[in-house]
Amino acid sequence: MITQTALYKALLQYLENNKVSAEEIESASRVINDSIETFSKKAAGYIDSFKESANELSQKIEETVSISDKLESSKSVFEKVSGFVKKMAENIDPLIATGIYERVNILKDSIDAFEAQIMSKLDSGKTMADHSHGLLNKDRIKVFLVGEFSAGKTTFARRLLGGSSGHIAGNPTTGCLVIHKQKSTPSLLVAFNKEFSISDSEKFERFLNSYNLRKFFSNVNNVFTPNANVKLFDNNDFSSDKILEFLKDANDFPEAFTSIVWNHKKPSQAKYDSFLDFADLYDMPGIGGEERHDEVIKKIFNEHKPDVVLYLIDTAAGCPSEDELKALPGFLQSITRCEPAPLFYWVYQKPTEYASLNIANLDEQGPVYDENFLKDNKKKMEDWVDNIKINHSGLFNEKLINYLAETAVLDARGLKDDTETAQNAASIVLQHYFCRNAMKYCENAGTLLLSESNAAQLEVMNYRQDTPGHFNSTENSFIQNKIIDAIKISSSLSVEGARIIFQKALCIDVSYDIHNFPFDLRNVLLEMKNDIDNIIDQMVKALRMPAKGIGVIFNAKSDIISVDAINNNFWANYEKNAAWQGLLYKTQSYHWLISHYKGLVAPQYVNKIGFALLNNIKKGIKHLEESKMPFSLTVKLFEKNSELLQKV
């Protein structure tokens, strides 16, 4: 792929090689003027030597041909470059990785606001912790870099992180898990296994001594055990070269380490966010290699849950090898246990050749990007999955096959020193992750808000008297509809059953934790609660007690409430009793006072504020989805007429 960076570098190199200096232009002008003057003199005095002078003029003019050729060639090149830049500029708004990351930040800010202003203040105590992973500003997602030995994982890590952390490279056949993170202070953190055996103990002893680590270990019969107080090695003084040397040496002893974490410091001159601002990169050992490395891989997947898997495969082959085919089911079973299942991309990172771009050979009709590459490799991977269904169902169960059918192809090919293509490809992956997970977050948050907004407490706190500005002392619609009607519907209802209906409708059965409230406020709330309970008790007892002059059916032995008693007696008593008339308003005051002090979001505001903030998150998702490249970098398997995933 011709990247903008490669194009600009090639253009600068071409201009350097073909520049026309001021001295050359001045010399050409002087040659032409001298030739014309000489020709004029000779033509005037010596007509017979006209032919000789003409030949001399022609010879002089030829000296300027090279300059003219340079200018003409430069004009042609500029026209070609202009055409390519125009193609690159189409639909860029402007984007590349920086544009995506800016929109991701906006989306994360919106989710942070929703968590702070709504979720943290819901009295129910419900959270979105199971759905917010990676979406908050404090979070980092886990991107696993996986592939066969020598597939180019470490090279890709260098290309992906090189723009922000300089030279990054371990042994080309990495045998240990190396996690790249971004911290304010650079460091190398090494976590050792609690106990491990080393076949070549002398070599391991030399390794420990060379890094001043031997003092932290005991060795009994080639079984090494770190001291209890030294489980994590932290040395902020490690230089970049020393880190690379350590990683290379550590590859010989993968059984010794739980993980090696390289914390990179963000360059002070960095103007924009990069990959490590949003994700940690897990550079995995190669699969399908040594058995001891396979054991390390199994352990890693058991202890860590990837959010995204980037699986590097050979560009020339286009699909996994036979060795990879045999090793894949083991680690796929591990990652498919995650919920949600991680996004999975088959990544092509090695170009077919590493030749630098020669701008002089640009063809204006040639592709800015090889559009057939993704189509061809999409077809190869689809055929590969179909072959698994037919011939390898014993290795891959239905769940794994269905998961493979949901994977995507990612084109990240670039030169060894290229960072632009790798960064763009990684940003598209993160775009997909945040769009997918943020949409699921909104769906679950919406369901939660609906359950909150439909709670009985909302109806209590949000109740208003039927006639605005007029206090109705003869009847209350809330008590009638939510309590009395419910009592009537219940057959053979006991007094205690009627009391429960009162308490549930008024949400007095809700248990508030007020032990940390101020003493005086706590006493006020307890008095209010007792008053409410006493009024409810009076109202319930009135249903079984006959009023004067009115026959009320009541069976004292069975303690059953009579519907006739309700119809003939309840509202007559209600009209005469101020305490009964004030029950609902006292209950509202009780709930409001607690909610106000605890800083909770009142249920009646959940719909207005909560869903307004959710809509803002959805706008952020749409804005992020609209980010697009002028050419395709990724495509999903088994999609007819596949669109760019970043354009979906």
Beta strands of 127-195 (E only): which ranges?
Answer: 141-147, 178-183, 187-192
Mean pLDDT calculated for residue range 26-40: 67
Pick 474 or 623 by higher pLDDT. 623
3-state SS assignment for residue 192: strand
Report the chain's terminal Cα–Cα distance, integer Å: 23
Distances (CA, A) of 378 to 326, 381, 387, 427, 433: 21, 5, 14, 20, 20
Question: Which of 132-146, 260-274, 288-302, 607-621 has the lowest average pLDDT?
Answer: 288-302
**Cα-trace Rg, the chain:** 38
Dist. CA 610–CA 65, nearest whole Å: 74
CB 518 within 8 A of CB 594: no
Pick 55 or 249 by higher pLDDT. 249
3-state SS assignment for residue 616: helix
CB 1 within 8 A of CB 413: yes
Predicted TM-score (pTM) of the model is: 0.70
Quickly state the pLDDT bin for 323 (edges 50, 70, 90).
Answer: confident
pLDDT of residue 156: 87
- Could you tell me the two tokens for 627? 């980010």
User: What is the DSSP pairing of strand 308-312 with strand 343-348?
Assistant: parallel
Q: Is the pLDDT of residue 82 over 80?
A: no
% of residues, the chain, pLDDT over 90 = 18
Q: What are the pLDDT digits (tens) for 362-399?
A: 554 344 456 688 889 999 999 999 999 988 888 899 99
Quickly state the pLDDT bin for 554 (edges 50, 70, 90).
Answer: very low
pLDDT of residue 131: 81
